Amino acid sequence: MSASQQKVHAAGAALNYISDGMTVGLGSGSTSEIFVRLLGERMRDGLNVIGVPTSEQTAKIATEFGIPLKPIDHVDRINVTIDGADEVDGQFQLIKGGGGCLLREKIIAHASDLMVVIVDETKLKAQLGDFALPVEVDPFAFTITAKKIFDAMRASGIPRGDVKLRRRGDGLEPFTTDGGHYILDCACGTIPDAPTLADRLVHIPGVVEHGLFIGLARVVIVGEDRGAKIMEF
């Protein structure tokens, strides 16, 4: 069965974590978009929730499917956030940010009572690092920041890392996030110690946020061919 159908199974299972009256963080990416559509269908059947989107794209899709939204500044509690991931390891450590929304995703996940991650089987990894780690940076002096990031990778036990500026589809202009920042994609191969790398990155001036989500996910739902497997940390 295709990964796309596994994503549907994972997103559908996440609906079990939604109750009437909740404020729900709405993640970004292909699996999260499926969840938003399914949530909209459930609301047409009478469910009542408020959504807090992690990206402009998510906000657009949620509006199309009739989910009322509030900006995070206008809510005092987020009951649960449902979001995808680019990689998940056995300790529920994540790499996120393939879609460029990692800063807002992390802010909303951190503000939530519960973060539920929905993925297909291909996203499960014994060790993080196959997927290039996104790091969101200020455009000012980003080349200097990139060198500091490379040094942090080396100091964290990544011997042959590579740091590249993400560009738009035409390959000419830099990709910019909803917040106006750049993304540096860091090819690591493997990340032997994700918490150490995360700590080094967060102390680099110019780094706005990194795509290592550590200690945030409490539930991981893995879409499978015949349903979904729910893992709780």
Count of residues for the chain? 233
Distance CA 196, CA 200 (A): 6
From 110, 86, 50, select the one nearest 191 (Cα to Cα): 86
Judged by phi (left if over 0) then psi (alpha if -120 to 50, else beta), residue 20 lies in beta
Q: Which residue has the tokens 């990709």?
A: 175
Give me the active site residues, please: 105
* List of long-range contacts for 1-6, beta carbons under 8 Å, 24+ apart: 1/225, 3/120, 3/121, 3/122, 3/223, 4/120, 5/223, 5/225, 6/120, 6/121, 6/222, 6/223, 6/224, 6/225
SS3 state at 34: helix
Q: Are 184 and 163 in contact (CB under 8 A)?
A: yes
Rounded to 10 deg, the angle between the 3-14 and 30-44 helix axes is 50
